[in-house]
């Protein structure tokens, strides 16, 4: 590969081979389908996808030579039980050729993230990491927290391991460098300093309390600090404070003193002994009882920007070397790698992985296994954290497994539930009504699968009708998208926030849809409404159950109920806040923000616009005759 640059986006249609086999779940049929594909495969690098009879992706793999790699799958006796099961389900393959193996590795990560195949190692926690963004698109740059695509012009510093760590750093940076954090719109409309200036967390460039040169100096100091040059910044502030004190400017000396205290705070909370390391990401793995944990440390300029534990999925029967390789390539699909990446073991594909990360970053990235000194101590620290995190995870999993068995016993389920769905409604006197669904499994809440339902047809003052609408939409879609129930999206248990009435409404929905094997349970607060521990569980056969007030199982079920409360109320508040800011003009087709603002500025209120004559509308500044006619017709059409 020549040079470094952004990863190639591949045209799959240009090099796709798809051969169908029979639909029967048979090992011989899977081998036959793969043999058919082998006839057309080149000895080139690329990526292959294995599909089942329905076309769903089972596995995504990359190869230096596609023909050789895919040919291994027809040698069934040499395959593990896991791979034999995969081959038995395979009925077609899709092949994409690439220029080299590094490109194949990058494409493999993209496709794994898109399809989430059941036989690939998956990075469960792939939420975007927070960064600190120092914008460069304004005369007085703004400092802010940032998540997601990095489209805004400016300097990005990160990743930080959590929102808490970036918030703490951002607060300290505001005290240290007095950079503005307000939006451009807020900045533009100020005619006096805001509260942040009063509490010495902003230099108030919006009203001229600092000039361009002075603010530019603060920005330069902030960049030095975020680049790891803390000693330079500290020496400069110390010299300025001494000079101010000697010049009898005690007020400025006090400001500089406070800024030095903020610097000391940041160093005390983030500094670790990382001399000579520079920018580095550190990864260490721990394994026990079939579970794998990976600890990641982020070091930038000798500062600890946090650490996070990961527990990849689908790792049973996969070599540890392959798990770590797959984890790294998926992790760096969205996060830019540091200049040096430390791992705790030699990887068979280290050279290709290093080349792929360099391509992704657009610069050279070094993949190393440190053996001594500071770097080895940092890696050992990461290994200890990985082991401790894995032990906590195992303890939590054991407790959760016990609770799931007790849930199955309490509600007479055949097996411990793998998916529990909990439903609730939220509204205020029928306004902004919505339904909410949260999902829990053996490993806790699955927040990526939470759903909210805007009530469309049911009377919003009828809780039973709202529940009927929510469940009708949920299970009608489930029947349409996964009628065979092999996608893992069907619940083993449904909990409803409510009593017998809610339960009967839900039963009627499932009976109408022909669903007879989903367990429904209503969770009511009992005779002493509002008192924790007195919940009554209403079963489908008419029975009512209660649990001892100190029962761990009761606490778990309460936690499920409270989580759906939290999610429903939060979604309702967001919907209500959006509705409060809505304008009647939002409904008029073809009226954008600028024209809406012009009309409101001219007439004062949306009601005045609605009652205005055509002639008055035409007189509004920035409103053409055609737009005036459109607004008038919208409100006065018969």
**30, 382 Cβ separation under 8 angstroms:** no
pLDDT tens digit string along 172-229? 788 878 899 998 888 888 889 898 888 888 999 999 899 999 899 888 888 887 776 6
Q: Where in the chain is the domain with CATH 1.10.150.20?
A: 584-636
| SS3 readout for 523-576 | EECCCCCCCCCCCEEEECCCCEECCCCCCHHHHHHHHHHHHHHHHHHHHHHHHH
- Strands 420-428 and 366-368: what pairing? unpaired
Asked whether the beta carbons of 620 and 602 are under 8 A apart, the reply is yes
Q: Is the pLDDT confidence value at 19 over 50?
A: no
Distance CA 88, CA 83 (A): 9
Which pLDDT belongs to residue 21?
45
Tell whether the model's pLDDT for residue 106 goes beyond 70.
yes
Looking at residue 314, what is its pLDDT? 87
User: Is there a contact between 17 and 93 (Cβ–Cβ < 8 Å)?
Assistant: yes
- In the chain, residues under CATH classification 3.40.1440.10 are 12-115
Q: How far apart, in whole angstroms, are the C-alpha atoms of residue 132 and residue 226?
A: 9
Q: Which CATH number fits domain 12-115: 1.20.140.10, 3.40.50.300, 3.40.1440.10, 3.40.50.11540?
A: 3.40.1440.10
CATH label, 584-636, candidates 1.10.150.20, 1.20.1730.10, 3.30.310.80, 3.90.1170.50: 1.10.150.20
User: Which of 96, 95, 79 shows the shortest CA–CA distance to 31?
Assistant: 79
The DSSP secondary-structure symbol of 334 reads T
3-state secondary structure 450-481: CEEEECCCCCCCCHHHHHHHHHHHHHHHHHHH
226: its two tokens? 């975020």
Q: Which of these ranges, 9-13, 332-336, 631-635, has the smallest mean pLDDT?
A: 9-13
φ/ψ of 384, rounded to 5, equals -60, -45
pLDDT interval class at 554 (50, 70, 90): very high
Q: CA-to-CA distance for 149 and 336, rounded, in angstroms?
A: 12
Residue 195 structure tokens: 């509260």
The confidence score (pLDDT) of residue 264 equals 66
Which has the higher per-residue pLDDT, 222 or 87?
87
Both tokens of residue 435? 């339904």
pLDDT greater than 80 at residue 2: no
* E strand segments, 251-343: 280-288, 291-300, 303-310, 340-343
The residues near 295 (Cβ < 8 Å, ≥ 6 apart) are 283, 284, 285, 286, 307, 308, 309, 310, 382, 383, 385, 386, 389
Listing DSSP states for 63-109 in one string gives ESSHHHHHHGGG-GGGS-HHHHHHHHH--EEEEEE-SSHHHHHHHHH
Give CA 468 to chain center in angstroms: 30
Task: Give the residue from 393, 371, 383 showing the smallest Cα distance to 282.
Answer: 383
Q: 421: helix, coil or strand?
A: strand
pTM given for the model: 0.70
Q: Does residue 467 register a pLDDT over 70?
A: yes
pLDDT tens string 24-74 = 457 888 999 999 999 889 899 999 999 998 888 999 999 999 999 999 999
d(CA 595, CA 584): 13
Q: Could you please state the CATH topology (level 3) that the domain comprising 420-572 is classified under.
A: Nucleotidyltransferase; domain 5 (3.30.420)
Residue ranges, CATH 3.30.420.340, the chain: 280-391, 420-572
CATH architecture of structural domain 280-391: 2-Layer Sandwich (3.30)
Q: How far is CA 64 from the centre of its chain?
A: 32
């Amino acid at each position: 590969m020549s040079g470094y640059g952004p990863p190639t986006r591949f045209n799959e249609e240009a090099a796709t081979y798809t051969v169908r086999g029979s639909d029967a779940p048979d090992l011989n049929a899977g081998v036959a389908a793969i043999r058919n594909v082998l006839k057309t495969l080149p000895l080139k690098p690329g990526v292959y996808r294995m599909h089942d009879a329905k076309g769903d992706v089972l596995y995504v793999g990359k190869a230096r030579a596609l023909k050789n790699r895919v040919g291994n799958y027809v040698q069934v006796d040499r395959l593990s039980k896991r791979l034999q099961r995969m081959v038995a389900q395979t009925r077609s393959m899709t092949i994409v050729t690439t220029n080299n193996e590094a490109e194949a590795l990058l494409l493999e990560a993209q496709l794994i993230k898109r399809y989430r195949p059941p036989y690939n190692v998956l990075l469960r926690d792939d939420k975007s990491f927070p960064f600190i963004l120092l914008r460069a698109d304004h005369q007085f740059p703004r400092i802010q927290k940032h998540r997601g695509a990095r489209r805004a012009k400016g300097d990005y510093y990160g990743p930080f391991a959590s929102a808490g760590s970036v918030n703490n750093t951002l607060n300290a940076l505001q005290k240290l460098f007095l950079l503005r954090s307000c939006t451009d719109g807020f900045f533009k409309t100020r005619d006096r300093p805001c509260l942040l200036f009063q509490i010495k967390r902003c230099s108030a460039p919006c009203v001229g309390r600092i000039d361009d040169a002075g603010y530019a100096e603060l920005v330069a100091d902030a960049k030095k600090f975020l680049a790891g040059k803390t000693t330079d910044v500290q020496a400069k502030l110390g010299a300025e404070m001494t000079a101010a004190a000697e010049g009898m400017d005690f007020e400025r000396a006090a400001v500089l003193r406070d800024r030095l205290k903020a610097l000391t705070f940041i160093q005390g909370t983030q500094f670790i002994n990382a001399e000579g390391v520079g920018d580095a990401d550190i990864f260490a793995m721990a394994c026990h009882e079939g579970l794998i944990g990976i600890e990641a440390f982020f070091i930038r300029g000798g500062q600890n920007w946090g650490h996070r534990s990961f527990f990849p999925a689908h790792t049973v029967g996969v070599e540890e070397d392959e798990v770590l390789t797959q984890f790294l390539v998926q992790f760096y699909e969205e996060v830019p790698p540091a200049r040096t990446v430390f791992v705790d073991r030699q990887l068979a594909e280290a050279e290709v992985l290093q080349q792929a990360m360099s391509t992704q970053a657009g610069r050279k990235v070094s993949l190393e296994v440190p053996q001594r000194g500071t770097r080895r101590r940092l890696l050992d620290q990461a290994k200890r954290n990985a082991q401790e995190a894995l032990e906590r995870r195992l303890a939590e999993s054991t407790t959760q497994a016990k609770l799931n068995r007790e849930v199955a016993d309490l509600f007479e389920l055949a097996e411990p539930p793998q998916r529990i769905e909990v439903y609730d409604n939220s509204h205020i006197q029928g306004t902004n009504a919505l339904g909410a669904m949260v999902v829990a499994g053996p490993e806790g809440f699955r927040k990526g699968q939470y759903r909210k339902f805007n009530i469309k047809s049911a009377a919003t003052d009828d809780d039973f009708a709202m529940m009927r609408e929510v469940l009708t939409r949920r299970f009608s879609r489930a029947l349409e998208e996964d009628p065979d129930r092999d996608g893992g999206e069907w619940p083993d248990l449904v909990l409803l926030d409510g009593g017998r009435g809610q339960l009967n409404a839900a039963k009627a929905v499932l009976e109408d849809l022909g669903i007879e094997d989903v367990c429904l349970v209503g969770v009511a607060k009992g005779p002493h409404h509002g008192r924790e521990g007195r919940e009554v569980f209403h079963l489908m056969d008419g029975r009512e159950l209660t649990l001892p007030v100190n029962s761990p199982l009761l606490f778990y079920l309460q936690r499920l109920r409270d989580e759906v409360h939290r999610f429903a109320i939060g979604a309702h508040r967001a919907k209500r806040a959006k509705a409060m800011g809505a304008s009647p003009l939002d409904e008029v087709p073809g009226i954008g923000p600028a024209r809406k603002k012009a009309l409101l500025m001219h007439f004062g209120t949306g009601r005045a616009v609605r009652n205005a004559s055509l002639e008055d509308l035409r007189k509004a500044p920035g409103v053409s005759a055609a737009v005036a006619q459109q607004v008038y017709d919208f409100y006065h059409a018969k």
